[in-house]
A = this chain, B = another copy of it.
Amino acid sequence: MSQIFNNPTANQTLFLSVRDVAHIVAQVGMPQVLARMAGCIQADYLRWGDFDKVARVAAHSPEGVIELMPIADAHTYTFKYVNGHPKNTRVGLPTVMAFGVLADVDTGAPLLLSELTLTTALRTAAMSAVAARALARPGSTTMALIGNGAQAEFQALAFQHLLGIQEISLFDTDPAATRKLLHNLRASGLRLVACDSIAQAVRGADIVTTVTADKTNATILTPDLLEPGMHINGVGGDCPGKTELHPDVLRQSAVFVQYEPQTRVEGDLQNLPADFAVTELWQVLAGHAPGRTSAGQITVFDSVGFALEDFSALRYLRDTAAELGLGQRLSLVPTLNDPKDLFELLRPVAAPLALAA
């Protein structure tokens, strides 16, 4: 039996904990992690047609939502489990928690199980930067960051390192969130300005990032706040009944999305008619559709979080964990001497051992 449970190689799943992913960021460095994840995302969006895509599968409840986000190409399958529970902070839990799996399409074997809470913040920021590189005015140096919660630092650093943003105006309805962000990024080299209102934060910004958590149809951004040439990175409107942008903001802009069928249901786009024209971002990245067409145009990336970004992030984690020798092997699925003999697992066993490492 010890062979079945202690074989460290065959059909064992690598597990990356929260600490392992934190260790990757510490070892590789935040700018490099963001740059490499953005590279993986960009590369995967450029082969959009290779993927078997579905809108995520959501289970809604009064307090929030739990979602499964599967995607696959011909070789690799991934899925993410992610929740969104705005009131979680009251009971000391993160609003968003996530984990995911990368599996082999040819056998179905789960090869990697990883934390994705930290990773979701990293990949969402990297995705925002990929979109902004294609859509924001070249030479953008200032950003407004509306919503200073769990994901805000990651957005700030991605725009600093991948876009060249130097100054960020901050606003949150919770001043403690802004203080936390100021503290966390005090050594970042960014000029950070806490503001008293959304209007003050947005004024003169090249890019406006909205990343709020309330599950309501909020209007964080109204048309009167728009300025010519702005790029709006709308991250927090990502669920039916959870939006951030006044519909007229979208009407006055060129709107770009990840995967149209999903964004129609989940994005700020849900507040507009079904025939409101949008462009899938991969088309812009691939040169099939124009992005920004003039310096004065307003562009919106109506980001909802699509499974492809998690695919990209999971393959980055897999490769980086291998390079750095991180992770532990879990007995998540069995190794059998005879694959038709599942019953062999039930022959007398010694005391339980959860880890096969």
Contacts and interface: CB of A to CB of B under 8 A. Distances in A.
Interface in A144-184: 149-151, 153-154, 174, 176-177, 180, 184
B107 A346 contact: no
Contact of A107 (B19, B85, B327, B356): B85
- Which among A15, A184, A354 has the greatest number of chain B C-beta atoms within 10 A? A354
B93 A109 contact: yes
Contacts of A18: 4-5, 331-334, 345
Nearest to A150: B342
Stoichiometry, as copies per complex, reads: 2
A92 B97 CA distance: 35
B94 A333 contact: yes
A17 B332 contact: yes
Interface string A53-97: 010010101011110101010100101010111001101111101
Given A61-B72, A349-B26, A340 B150 contact: yes
Interface centre among A15, A98, A174 (most CB of B within 10 A): A15
A22 interface: yes
B341 A150 contact: yes
A95 B339 contact: yes
Nearest to A30: B346
Contact of A105 (B63, B88, B355): B63
Interface stretch (A110-118, A201-209, A235-243): A110-118
A94 B339 CA distance: 5
A68 B70 contact: yes
A15 to B, nearest CB: 6
B106 A343 contact: no
Contacts of A191: none
A301 interface: no
Nearest to A68: B68
A292 to B, nearest CB: 31
A107 B93 contact: yes
Given A54-B57, A107-B85, A352 B99 contact: no
A328 B354 contact: yes
A71 to B, nearest CB: 8
A115 B327 contact: no
Contacts of A153: 342-343
A22 B331 CA distance: 12
A85 to B, nearest CB: 5
Contacts of A121: 342
A352 B20 contact: yes
A274 interface: no
Nearest to A65: B108
7 contacts: A18-B332, A23-B349, A94-B336, A118-B345, A150-B343, A180-B341, A328-B354
